[in-house]
Amino acid sequence: MNALCTLVMLWSISTVVVMTTVSQKVDVRTALGTVRGNGFPTFQEFLGIPYGTAERFEPAVPRSKGFDQNPLDATYFGPACLQTLTNVTTYGSEYSCHVLNIWRPAGVGPGANLPVLLFVPGGTNDFGEAEPYNASIMASDQHAVICSINYRVGPFGFVALKEQALAGEPTGNFALTDIQAALRFLRQHVADFGGDPKRLTLFGQSSGGGLVLLHTVLPSSSGLLEGVISQSGDLGARPLDKSLGVTETLAERLNCTQKGFKSTRACLVAATGDELVYAQGVTCITPNACNAATSWSPTVDGALLPDDPLVLAKAGQVNPLAVALGANTNDSYLFIMNTGPIGRTEYEAALLAAARGNVTLARALLALYPPRDNRTDDHVDLMGWWSSDRMLCGLRRTAAAFAAAPPTKGQVHLYRYNYFFQSNRVCTAASNWHDPSWGSVHQDEVSFVFGQPIFMNIGYTNCSVPGWSGFDRSCLDCHFNATEAAFARAVGRLWTSFAASGDPGVREGIERGEVQEAADAEWPRFGAGGRNVLLQPTGAPQRMQAEFALGRPEYCEVWDEVDADA
């Protein structure tokens, strides 16, 4: 995980529809009390539902006592988990942030047994929350129950403590226990909202996709869910000693020794939440772009996560789940586009370093990604392409490990996403229009999964409304044209069909005669043939095709050799 991270200002008003349609209050009865949400003509939303509790540096537990209000006011998002906002300000709450949101189609009630998807937002494990991700259209168009979660980030979610490790207790993975608590909560209560608790799929993007994938190898997640969808996430975790080193950096910045603490744990528990955030060494260029001296990752703690997750997958020690994963064609370019200029000499040195000094492999890479003739020309775009290919080929190897594991064999699907918002050039709020020369980069798929433009770096789902505090010109005219709307419906259908049946090409379990066809796409199970689907608009009707080895077999052949021991 790179210590350089982008931290995003994430706060929100409710959905775009709220700005144009007066909502009606709608109640759902649960064993914990009545939940009161917002009702609209095509969907209903229940926001900020407390799903669990957790003490600092302790695993989360699902909520079991009644709600503090009756009815619970679920008409507005709950707080984000405590994180950085600027150099001198924090954002969110440490102890009241374990909340989730639920969207369902209008007219749905208990007994509908719709497939359920729980979204885990990303943010390099340092920041992030669910508010920017408006799932109203995804729920109504796809006739599914869509949920999203806030979970602990930064040191609150990922600090590893030596005392816990020596005692054989879970450590460094508190964010993963938050997700488990949410899954247990939904298992017990989502039926009240019309969801099928036996058809529950996690999906997540970026670092959220990585957290989602880890539930395939967490023994304690067995039986909590039926499937996972990872968007640009990898299956990885940091060795315990490395995570403990990050914790010591935090302790040094808190001056724990000088303050007389005899243990790092005691010092970190005694610190205020804001002190822990600032101890990360955060410096911000703007209110939503910051660097930190620390970086966070899940940990191989030997308790919650017994071994390196890829080692577990290759050994077949995985939970019996359906697995879908993939990334965007030029995914990695988003993270390096501002690192240039990179001249020819530096570019060639980077490829040699990627080949770990193997001159033969470095020459093979240079043949695949030849430098420009002019030694002073910028090569940062070429770095983006080969970094993205390396990532895609790594995901293909991960898919192969799952496909070979008996519990997941025959239930693995791989994709390559190759599109970005192009309806107009005005809507530039991420993840929407950008320079076409970038290709399809990290996060470009997000708007199309959710069925409408999403504003990840702003947070306000009503940011296109002049006069509101969240107004931003980059959100103006953010809507899909007919081609993109059809493509978004097809992508959303693939995701929800996967949740319904374990196969993105099969939609099952629709009650009372509603027609929900599977998306028209050739998305084969990943197996010995190594085929995946290519997700991009194809015109009317949408018919997305399969390809071999992510469309780059000769590239993956070299990268597989480069990363053979990785």
Residues taking part in catalysis: 206
Burial of 483 (0-12, 13-18, 19+ CB in 10 A): middle
- Whole-number Å distance between alpha carbons of 76 and 14: 7
- Whole-number Å distance between alpha carbons of 124 and 234: 12
According to DSSP, the β-strands at 412-417 and 322-328 are parallel
Residue 524 CB contacts under 8 Å (≥ 6 apart), including other chains:
413, 531, 532, 533, 546
Residue at token pair 């590239």: 555
Q: Which of 312, 182, 303, 173 is nearest to 243 (CA)?
A: 173
- Whole-number Å distance between alpha carbons of 489 and 497: 12
The token pair at 45 is 């939303």
- Whole-number Å distance between alpha carbons of 564 and 557: 10
- Could you give the C-alpha distances from 402 to 112, 118, 202, 328, 533, in angstroms and in order? 32, 21, 17, 20, 17
- Could you give the C-alpha distances from 340 to 5, 29, 346, 373, in angstroms and in order? 17, 56, 10, 17
Q: What is the DSSP string of 387-450?
A: HHHHHHHHHHHHHHHHHHSTTTTT-EEEEEE-----S-SS--SSSS---GGG-S-TTTTHHHHH
Work out the widest C-alpha separation in the chain, in whole angstroms: 70
Q: 3-state SS of 379-390?
A: CHHHHHHHHHHH
Residues in the chain: 566
- Whole-number Å distance between alpha carbons of 444 and 440: 6
415 pairs with which residues across the strands? 326, 533
According to DSSP, the β-strands at 114-120 and 195-205 are parallel
Are 505 and 521 in contact by the 8 Å Cβ rule? The answer is yes
